[in-house]
C-alpha cells in the first residue's frame, strides 16, 4: 500500500538507521584491517576448582583495540565478524595465540598446568579443515591435547549433522575436551546431553544469578547439575559474582566456577602471575 511504501521510504532516510548501517559497515572494514594489523588481543579468565580454590584453567576471550573507540568487547563485534565471514580467521588467530600463551603458564599451586578453554563459533567449527588446524597446532606447539578445551554452543548441535558429529568425536579421540557453553539458554536443553560427545557443561550465568534469589530456581538447577554429573560430565558455573553464588554453586554440585568474584579477564602476563601465586584462594 501507499502507506507502507511511504513508511519504507521514510525508513530509508531515517538518520538513526543510516548511522547504524554506516557504523556497521565501518566496523566491518576496520575489523578486517584489525586482523592484519594485530589489533586483536586475547584476555584470560581463570576457571576455579570450587572445592580447593585452585585454578584449573583459563578461558580465552578476544578483544579489539579499536584505533578510535578504545577496547571493544566481543559483544560489540562478534555479530559483525559472523555476518562478514571474519569469525573464522579471527577464531583461528585466537586459537593459535591462546595455545602459544598457554604453553608459558607455569604449574598452579596444585602442581598441574592450567588448561586453555577456547570459544569456537558455529561457522569456524564447520569451516573446511577445522579439526586438522587444531591438531596441527597441537603437534607444532607440543601442547598436550588434555590441556585444550573447545567451547561450542547448542546451536552447533541443532541440526543433525554427521560431519559435526564425526568432528566432535575425532577431537575427543585425540583427548581434546569439548564443552557446551551458555548451557540452558538454547533450545534442546537436557535431552541431547545423553548422546552428544561432550565433557564439560558451562551453566549460563543467568542460572547462577537467579539461583541466589529463588529457591525454586535453585532446585531446578540442582536437578540439571545432578543429571549432568550422572552422565559423567563436569559442570562449570559461569558468572559467579558473589560469595553467596559461589556457595550455592558448590552446594548444588558444580565442581568449577568462573566469574568476577575470582577474577576478571586479564592479560597473558597477569595470567602467568596469577598461576604462580602460592595460595590461590
Told to check if 97 binds Mg ion by CB under 5 A, we report no
Pick what 61 binds: ligand C2E, Mg ion, none; C-beta below 5 to 8 Å, kind-dependent: ligand C2E
Told to check if 119 binds Mg ion by CB under 5 A, we report yes
Name the residue nearer to ligand C2E (CB basis): 36 or 111: 36
Minimum distance of ligand C2E from residue 190's CB (angstroms): 19
Q: How far apart are the first and last CA of the chain?
A: 66
Among 99, 181, 208, 228, indicate the residue that binds Mg ion (CB under 5 A).
Answer: 181
Pick what 73 binds: Mg ion, ligand C2E, none; C-beta below 5 to 8 Å, kind-dependent: ligand C2E
Name the residue nearer to ligand C2E (CB basis): 228 or 249: 249
Name the residue nearer to ligand C2E (CB basis): 5 or 36: 36
Residues of this chain that bind ligand C2E (CB under 6 A): 45, 60-62, 73-75, 78, 87, 91, 94, 119, 121, 151, 181-182, 205, 238-241, 258-260, 265
Told to check if 182 binds Mg ion by CB under 5 A, we report yes
Minimum distance of ligand C2E from residue 128's CB (angstroms): 17
Pick what 249 binds: ligand C2E, Mg ion, none; C-beta below 5 to 8 Å, kind-dependent: none
SS3 of the chain: CHHHHHHHHHHHCCHHHHHHHHHHHHHHHHHHHHHHHCCEEEEEEEEEECCCCCEEEEEEEEEEEECCCEEECHHHCHHHHHHCCCHHHHHHHHHHHHHHHHCCCCCCCCCCCCEEEEECCHHHHHCCCHHHHHHHHHHHHCCCHHHEEEEECHHHHHCCCHHHHHHHHHHHHCCCEEEEEEECCCCCHHHHHHCCCCCEEEECHHHHHHHCCCHHHHHHHHHHHHHHHHCCCEEEECCCCCHHHHHHHHHCCCCEECCCCCCCCECHHHHHHHHHCCCCC
Minimum distance of ligand C2E from residue 75's CB (angstroms): 5
Minimum distance of ligand C2E from residue 255's CB (angstroms): 17
Minimum distance of Mg ion from residue 61's CB (angstroms): 8
Amino acid at each position: 500500500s501507499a502507506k507502507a511504501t511511504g513508511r519504507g521510504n521514510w525508513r530509508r532516510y531515517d538518520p538513526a538507521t543510516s548511522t547504524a548501517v554506516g557504523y556497521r559497515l565501518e566496523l566491518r572494514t576496520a575489523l578486517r584491517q584489525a586482523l592484519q594489523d594485530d589489533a586483536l588481543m586475547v584476555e584470560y579468565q581463570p576457571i576455579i576448582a570450587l572445592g580447593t580454590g585452585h585454578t584449573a584453567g583459563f578461558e580465552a576471550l578476544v578483544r579489539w583495540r579499536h584505533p578510535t573507540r578504545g577496547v571493544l568487547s566481543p559483544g560489540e563485534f562478534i555479530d559483525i565478524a559472523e555476518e562478514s565471514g571474519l569469525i573464522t580467521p579471527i577464531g583461528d588467530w585466537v586459537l593459535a595465540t591462546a595455545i602459544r600463551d598457554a604453553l608459558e603458564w607455569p604449574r598452579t599451586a596444585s602442581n598441574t598446568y592450567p588448561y586453555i578453554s577456547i570459544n569456537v563459533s558455529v561457522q569456524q567449527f564447520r569451516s573446511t579443515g577445522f579439526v586438522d588446524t587444531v591438531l596441527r597446532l597441537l603437534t607444532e606447539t607440543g601442547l598436550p591435547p588434555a590441556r585444550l578445551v573447545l567451547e561450542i554452543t547448542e546451536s552447533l548441535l541443532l541440526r543433525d549433522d554427521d560431519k559435526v558429529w564425526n568432528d566432535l568425536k575425532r577431537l575427543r579421540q585425540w583427548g581434546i575436551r569439548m564443552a557446551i557453553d551458555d548451557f540452558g539458554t538454547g533450545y534442546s536443553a537436557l535431552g541431547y546431553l545423553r548422546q552428544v560427545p561432550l565433557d564439560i557443561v558451562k551453566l549460563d550465568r543467568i542460572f547462577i544469578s537467579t539461583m541466589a534469589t529463588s529457591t525454586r530456581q535453585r532446585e531446578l538447577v540442582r536437578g540439571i547439575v545432578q543429571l549432568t554429573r550422572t552422565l559423567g560430565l563436569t559442570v562449570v558455573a559461569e558468572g559467579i559474582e558473589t560469595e553467596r553464588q559461589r556457595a550455592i554453586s558448590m552446594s548444588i554440585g558444580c565442581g568449577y566456577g568462573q566469574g568476577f568474584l575470582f577474577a576478571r579477564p586479564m592479560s597473558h602476563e597477569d595470567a602467568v602471575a596469577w598461576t604462580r601465586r602460592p595460595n590461590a584462594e
